[in-house]
A and B are shown apart, each in its own frame.
Chain A
């Protein structure tokens, strides 16, 4: 089955700096890669996603890049703000299925 590795497990950045989280996946049949943000005491919420026919996608301060050949994808947060502090999860989905495989999560702390 699919295996998704996520790094780092914790990330501390100064407000205004950039944060980068990286994920690798094992199944080349995966074609959908969402990123979820989980704030304390809440359920995960989708913040951005990318499909395998696209190499990069941006939404204001966040962007995701995908390298299908290397089977890895990354989340980039620019100009970090304290409200970006949360746990972020990457995930992968195979074309024929509807079960997401999640990475282990990255706890991001933005220091003011």
Chain B
């Protein structure tokens, strides 16, 4: 059982470039989340989704966009990368009992 899969694992972007962080889960969970984790810090919620076609902002949504066309996939888009977006990004999905399962993360550097 793969769980939550994130790609890529590492990426270096130049300022102003765009990219999409991919996230897919095979547990048929309705709820999915994107977090960022800055060095030595906790997890901050960027966006979340309660099901296909429904997304909502979290604590730090500026500079990001999401879509949820299927239950399985929840990509995160960075349109104009800035150094402040250098972070580790985690995708998670949630079971009906509220247990969140995390992917292995995408480490992003914007230079």
Binding site for B on A (CB under 8 A): 6, 32, 34, 36, 41-46, 49, 89, 93, 98-100, 102-105
Contact = CB atoms under 8 A, between A and B. Distances in A.
Interface of B is mostly: strand
B43 A102 contact: yes
Contact of A43 (B50, B98, B99, B102): B102
B102 A44 contact: yes
Interface residues of B, number: 21
Nearest to B3: A43
A40 B45 CA distance: 20
Contacts of B99: 34, 46, 49
B103 A105 contact: no
Interface string B93-107: 010001111111100
